[in-house]
Structure 1
């Protein structure tokens, strides 16, 4: 089935909550910048008139998964060719008003991809965690169907017959970025399990994917029927099946193992060994991107950490050979990557897995060596702050978090990085009242200048600030600082557009808990 006729009959919106229009655009794709409802409305009107899809791209340039998409999906020849048949719209999450658009499209996680009809109806959310070839196939499915996934799900739950492609649309739906558009989060595991059973016989790969996701979605501490263990072992033993389910296996390896085996015993030992072998094959699969291969290596490290505390900075029982592989592959990735987008995805992933392996020196050195070549060095600085904090290096942690905030760019990003810095101050240096007040005051001053400060990511950052301050205020000096900050925020709220009831309510509600406590 060719994509061209499909694109001419439907509108597509891929909402990626992780890259700005100016930085996210892949070579050969003509993106239109948008920062307000009027821009989006104009794009959909154009798409409807021309019977073209709309590709909406929303995010921030620092986000590693988004940079991964730029390095693997948006530069594909087939994607670039098909982009000529739709209206491509890029929304920089740091543009004025961008966070309001996030509310309109109900997106939070980075990245989120959404397919819309020409009339603006949501068709499906695409799996940003899948590899580029799979995402292209899901685009094809969504376009050929034209039916909202909500309607497809309703039919599936009612026991109506679905075609294989409709089942695949459900299997590859972006459940992680659903934001409860289809289901309350609590209902997801049982619903995915129901769909897995219902899809048996229609499409084996989809049934397996839905089943794996239903197990991975179980709440921490909940277990699955151990009778299902042979099914997982069969997937792991089959190289072709494991490759198809790559993203689920690499991202959810520890959850799958813990759900299907007891905390200790022969069954778990055998499953971990089989899982490790499957992930090793994926790690060595040159048809996968560097980031995906490193993700498989991290999955192996997470399995080796199963008996360690969740955040133990020095996990025990990681085999020396696995540590050697982590060092070698991280260094090779740093040497070999030349594309700036791929570097942001790969180096940050490599540094993270080194830290998870307890190789903090190597992780720090990798991040420091990459600072000068990163288009968003503040992200790496934040990682360095996190590394230092986990190692108990308080002064280094605060220095890196502060530098990351100072170097961060864009209003939404600065509020997020600033709230992270404030969190580190409150946790690691709560007695530094002057520094904490100064940082919070700066964030409120920046929020005053940002029309989208009380929407989506920015609102969540400010809520974090308010919560931190409420829990921090214990001494008379801290209470006085909190009073001054509340007065400053009251001034910010008073200057908001009176017609924007949502923003005013969000602003006025920020410090209410702190005021009640005082």
Structure 2
């Protein structure tokens, strides 16, 4: 599953030193991979003529996990050589048709990587969060697969005995986080993964499916935000069984290493799901998990970004029941030492983008906000996308309670953002910040919305995929802001501007329904 990245951990960086050129728009372009940039139809035509699979990569220039993939996978000689056996396509979310193509292929989260047959049949969605060796093994299996994952899933759930170890490996390493409900509805994911884990022969694949099922259940419980109690989610006997399985993985160094992506990225969510606050069980589980994270943070075989992610988890686990409490001085020293080492050692432009974001998050999680700020501000001077670091600075200011500084950073980030989809996302972030931190500043809120909607009107294909999702959330937030009609006149003017955009869209254009829906949502609680 993809990393769940906090606003600060998602901070991006590009250029490293004067001798290192900044990233190009296409991933791995420097490595000689013949990417088709956005030209999907010609790529499939070429693939069909040559009987080659199509490898589709969906990402963005500023995205730290995307740059991690570029730094650890796309630059590997083994990947470059294998790329000659498929037709590689790069879809940038900020390209003119990026979001429309994203809707066509049902991709939203950055990065998403899909392997297709020459005829367009989707084989699998590849796990960009795993280490490079595991990724290359899954890629090789996927290219040699006789059945797509969709068919393997159906066979596994029907009780078929025809699945071999490699089939189960494809199911265990499928990128369920970027599935976008192509194979399984979100509300059914945890139960489906539980069924797969139960059906899978004992071993590495079963352990990974079990852990993914627990992670999915934990995330589902977290999203319910208290609407469903721990006891209501699952009976205690089942929970204790899951707890035993997690402890078994943690106690096995090899198994923990094989599942480091899940253990590092979802540590606190799973611990909070499986144990009660303040309980001895919680402390025991958090301590055992923390020791594994300490070991992974020191594992030189992992990428620097992955090691820092493990360090972040270690800090979070140490404060799991007291998130504002003091951090052990030895752990603070470890954070400072490792961040300094990674900062100094990382010179690749793509890698820095992921490393600096994780490093800043480590500082923030440890309560070292001033040091996090200093790291981020230093990167503003040399980053190709400083607007992303500015969101991290806004998050730090918000954490301090400095509303004015937070809003100033949101404002700067929006003004500096590049690319139509990115500008929309950053504009919504600024507007959300205003609604949260300065809800009575109607003039500023209305002016920001006016700027955002003016840009929206001039953007082709503006109501697809990530854009649409951002606007839908904004519509709900505006409606909530106007609860009791406290800002009715202001919201009415904003809604009228949005309605003018909707009215200009052709009636047979799917975007019109999306636009109208957003407009209606803003009025839901007026």
Q: Using structure 2 for the length normalisation, give the TM-score.
A: 0.88
Q: Tell me the CA shift for residue 21 of structure 1.
A: 7.9
SS at match of 2:58: strand
Q: Tell me the CA shift for residue 255 of structure 1.
A: 3.1
1:289-328 equivalence runs, <5 A? 289-308=303-322, 312=323, 315-328=324-337
Greater Cα offset, 438-447 or 411-420: 438-447
Q: Which runs of 5+ in 2 are unaligned?
A: 1-11, 15-22, 222-229
Are 2:38 and 1:24 equivalent residues in the alignment? no
- In the TM superposition, what whole-angstrom CA distance separates every residue of 1:126-153 from its partner, at most 9, and x where no partner exists? 1111111111111111111131111101
Q: Tell me the CA shift for residue 418 of structure 1.
A: 0.2
Structure 2 contact 482–525 (Cα < 8 Å) conserved = no
Paired residue for 2:145?
Answer: 145
Are 2:447 and 1:435 equivalent residues in the alignment? no
Distance change >3 Å, CA 431–CA 138, structure 1 → 2: same
Q: Tell me the CA shift for residue 269 of structure 1.
A: 2.7
Q: Tell me the CA shift for residue 461 of structure 1.
A: 2.1
SS at match of 2:256: helix
Q: 1:230, 1:317 → 2: CA distance?
A: 30
Structure 1 contact 254–303 (Cα < 8 Å) conserved = yes
Paired residue for 1:104?
Answer: 104
Structure 1 contact 379–404 (Cα < 8 Å) conserved = yes
SS at match of 1:55: strand
- In the TM superposition, what whole-angstrom CA distance separates every residue of 1:180-218 from its partner, at most 9, and x where no partner exists? 1111222222221221121124xx110110111111211
Paired residue for 2:179?
Answer: 178
Q: 1:356, 1:452 → 2: CA distance?
A: 38
Q: 1:324, 1:306 → 2: CA distance?
A: 19
Paired residue for 2:128?
Answer: 128
Q: Which runs of 5+ in 1 are unaligned?
A: 1-17
Distance change >3 Å, CA 469–CA 252, structure 1 → 2: closer
Distance change >3 Å, CA 30–CA 264, structure 1 → 2: same
Q: 1:256, 1:491 → 2: CA distance?
A: 46
Are 2:496 and 1:487 equivalent residues in the alignment? yes
Larger RCO of the pair (alpha carbons < 8 Å, separation 6+): 2
Q: Tell me the CA shift for residue 387 of structure 1.
A: 0.9
Q: 2:517, 2:245 → 1: CA distance?
A: 50
Structure 2 contact 26–37 (Cα < 8 Å) conserved = no
Structure 1 contact 21–91 (Cα < 8 Å) conserved = no
Distance change >3 Å, CA 475–CA 196, structure 1 → 2: closer
SS at match of 1:225: helix
SS at match of 2:74: coil
Q: 1:448, 1:287 → 2: CA distance?
A: 49
Paired residue for 1:9?
Answer: none
**What RMSD, in angstroms, separates the aligned Cα atoms of the two structures?**
2.1
- In the TM superposition, what whole-angstrom CA distance separates every residue of 1:29-85 from its partner, at most 9, and x where no partner exists? 121211xxxx32221111010112222222211111111101101000100111122
Greater Cα offset, 411-420 or 360-369: 360-369
Paired residue for 1:269?
Answer: 283
1:405-444 equivalence runs, <5 A? 405-444=414-453
Q: 1:298, 1:364 → 2: CA distance?
A: 16
Q: Tell me the CA shift for residue 485 of structure 1.
A: 2.2
Q: Tell me the CA shift for residue 279 of structure 1.
A: 1.4
Q: 1:380, 1:392 → 2: CA distance?
A: 19
SS at match of 1:24: coil
Distance change >3 Å, CA 233–CA 472, structure 1 → 2: closer
Q: Tell me the CA shift for residue 475 of structure 1.
A: 9.4
Q: 1:291, 1:87 → 2: CA distance?
A: 29
1:383-462 equivalence runs, <5 A? 383-462=392-471
Distance change >3 Å, CA 444–CA 279, structure 1 → 2: same
Distance change >3 Å, CA 273–CA 464, structure 1 → 2: closer
- In the TM superposition, what whole-angstrom CA distance separates every residue of 1:350-380 from its partner, at most 9, and x where no partner exists? 1112112211111111111111122211000
Structure 1 contact 236–278 (Cα < 8 Å) conserved = yes
Structure 1 contact 123–146 (Cα < 8 Å) conserved = no
Q: Tell me the CA shift for residue 336 of structure 1.
A: 1.9
Q: 1:485, 1:23 → 2: CA distance?
A: 37
Q: Tell me the CA shift for residue 443 of structure 1.
A: 1.0
SS at match of 2:266: helix
Q: 1:475, 1:241 → 2: CA distance?
A: 54
Structure 1 contact 128–135 (Cα < 8 Å) conserved = yes
- In the TM superposition, what whole-angstrom CA distance separates every residue of 1:107-137 from its partner, at most 9, and x where no partner exists? 1222222121111111111111111111111
Q: 2:200, 2:24 → 1: CA distance?
A: 38
Paired residue for 2:114?
Answer: 114
Are 2:396 and 1:382 equivalent residues in the alignment? no
Q: Using structure 1 for the length normalisation, give the TM-score.
A: 0.90
Distance change >3 Å, CA 279–CA 488, structure 1 → 2: same
Q: 1:198, 1:505 → 2: CA distance?
A: 42
Paired residue for 1:472?
Answer: 481
Greater Cα offset, 260-269 or 164-173: 260-269
1:296-375 equivalence runs, <5 A? 296-308=310-322, 312=323, 315-375=324-384
Are 2:292 and 1:278 equivalent residues in the alignment? yes
